[in-house]
Amino acid sequence: MYIVTGSTSNTGSVVAHQLLDAGKQVRVIGRSLEKLSPFTDRGAEAFVAGPTDAEALIEAFQGAKAAWIMLQPNYIPDSADFSGYQAQVTDAIAQAITANPLAYAVTLSSWGADRESGSGPVLGLHHMEQVMNTLPIENLLHLRAGYFMENTLSYLPSILKNGKISGPFDQDMQLPFIATKDIGHAAAEALIRLTFKGKQVQELHGQRDLNIREATAMIGNAIGKPGLVYEQNTILEFKSGLMAAGFSANVIALMEEVVIGMNSKHITTSQIRTAASTTSTSFENFLEASFVPAYNKMQYK
């Protein structure tokens, strides 16, 4: 039996479907039975449980051989203690695995998870890795994914309202842009093959590195706005925008920390790019399949 946590997420859904494609027994975990129906319709077992409900997760993990483990990869904007929430989720999963030892597990981690401080919410993934390393998991693979291509969807309001992209990142900083579906594919392949042994870390760097200036030019060409420009905000402007959007002081502080960490290269990749860390979806592919349709939908609302 394979357990898939976060099964309705961009990565978890890919993992679940690919395991089902391979004929595996899959138990998907989520908050809503209705949202799990795409998997149960294909023969998966569904288990409704909140991510911090240790008692329910202990039951959900019964009989499992392998698992896909993930924390919520996005901020909860109004959270008063997002790091505390991450720790609660990690603890609940840890209790489930302690009660139900696993032969194999793959986790969704992040570039920068090697850092012990100064990494904002990535520190929660560092903590998750450390906890998982102590649990009764015979073979464990941490997938440290790069910068999600889907993060660029947050640029849409700025493009539509101001005709430019605004953000806090250094425009010349190289980022390992990766499509979330490629993370799911890498995780599913690892869980199907089960060839990883012991405790391992594998970074996923995407198809190629790009900086924000290059990405902005590509976005502009894709949406028919050649010459689209990127304007780097100050940290103060960045924080003021988040405050106006209703983000909590706690989350704003975490986001400030991750921006400073990335701009200073404190948060960076730690492994050399290889065939194993290079995934297939190019930024051009992502723009055509996801960004342009989202732009057109917002533009013609």
The pLDDT tens digits of the residues spanning 214-252 come to 999 999 999 999 999 999 999 999 999 999 999 999 999
Q: What is the dihedral of CA 172, 181, 2, 145, to 10 degrees?
A: 0
Whether the model pTM is above 0.85: yes
Tokens of 128: 């998750």
pLDDT at res. 24? 98
Question: Residue ranges of the chain with pLDDT lower than 50?
Answer: none
264 vs 267: CA distance, rounded Å: 8
pLDDT at res. 75? 86
**Which domains, and CATH codes, for the chain?**
2-149+178-204 (3.40.50.720), 210-299 (no CATH)
286-290, long-range: CB within 8 Å, 24+ apart, which pairs? 286/149, 286/150, 286/179, 287/218, 287/219, 287/222, 288/222, 290/149, 290/150, 290/153
